[in-house]
Structure formats: structure tokens, C-alpha cells
Chains A and B, each alone.
Chain A
């Protein structure tokens, strides 16, 4: 059974810092690994999706990498801004096409 965990659970950083969010999964047979952002009381905003054949994806200040063999994905945020404050969720898709979500990382970027 796929299990997805995220470390750290919460993170507070000063504006401008580069930071890394971690996502671990137990079953390496995944189709996709996707990162989302969720603002309080809101739905999910898709940030990056990495297909199983890919190693990384980039969008603006965001870079996500995938290492299936070690069961890890990282989300790198460059030059963090207060507007980046949100909860970040990763989700792994396995054989039954289900998304298994991680526990989330609550990020606060201080001005």
C-alpha cells in the first residue's frame, strides 16, 4: 500500500531564502508525482507534475525532482516570497490511478 510522507510538516523562513520541501513514497512503481499548493480554505493549485519517465520539471522559481529508486521527490523554491506562504502537498499516482496525498508542509515566508 502506497504511503506518502512530507518533511518538514511546517517551515518558517525569511523572505528571499531558497528552500526545499521533501516528499517520500514507499512504492516506487508510480506513474506520476505531482506537487500542489493549497491556500487556507481553498482548493488545490497544481504546480508541477513529473511523469515516471522524467527526472524533473521546472516552472518559474519552482523546480521539482523525482528519484523513483529512492522513493523521493523534492520541490525547490528559489528566492521565496511572502506570497509563497501556503500548504504544499505532493501526491503519487500508482497502478490503480489513485492519487495518494502526502501529509503536507505548511510554509510561511516572513517579510
Chain B
């Protein structure tokens, strides 16, 4: 159980365009989802926390107008990178937490999405 999927697994887009990444919890309802970014040879950095039905909370230094997060249902959160630039190229990973699970604070991670902006 506790499976999280992401789509697409990789995407290439041109500079100035927008790209949407989906994160789904497949076998549980996730009231909270998290979005992380990982640059090559670096660790994961939390970008934002999203709660179903409310606005996302962004970490310091993350542009909320550039990284739009929508968590419209208990199984789906989306991250839209708007007006993408080459410096946005990164590995984006989402996670979801199961509030009724045995280990309440545990997050389950998706497989990641590789974004390359040309």
C-alpha cells in the first residue's frame, strides 16, 4: 500500500513555456502533499506544502507565482512551472502523507519527474 505516482516521469520543454506535473496517491487519501526539488548531486529541498482544498504554503525563496500548486482532491496535486527557464531544470519529487495511517507523519514519495528546459 501507500503508493504515489507522478506523471510525466520526464519532460522536455522550451524556455518560456509552462509544464504541469501530476502527483497522485493511488491507494490512500492524502490531505497533505509536498513538493521537493533536487539539483544534480544535491539533496532534496522542500518547495511547498499543499493541503487539500487550501492554498499551498511555500518555503522561503520559492516563487509562488512561478511554481503553481493545486491540490483539488484528496488524491491529486499538481505543480505547474510557469514560464520555465533553463535554471528550472531539475528533478521534482512529490510526496503524500496518510493522516489515518499507523505512522501519521510518514510521507510516501513518488518516483520523480525530470524536467529539462531548453
Contact = CB atoms under 8 A, between A and B. Distances in A.
B44 A101 contact: yes
Interface string A31-68: 11010100001111010010100000000000000000
Interface string A87-99: 0010101000111
A interface SS class: strand
A43 B97 contact: no
Contacts of A46: 108-109
Contact of A43 (B32, B34, B112): B112
B93 A44 contact: yes
Interface string B78-117: 0000000000000101010100000101111111101000
B44 A89 contact: yes
Contacts, number: 48
Given A49-B106, A91-B44, A99-B34, 12 more contacts: A34-B106, A36-B109, A42-B112, A43-B111, A43-B112, A44-B44, A46-B108, A98-B49, A99-B95, A99-B107, A100-B46, A101-B43
Interface residues of A, number: 22
B93 A32 contact: no
Given A98-B34, A98-B46, A99-B95, A43 B107 contact: no
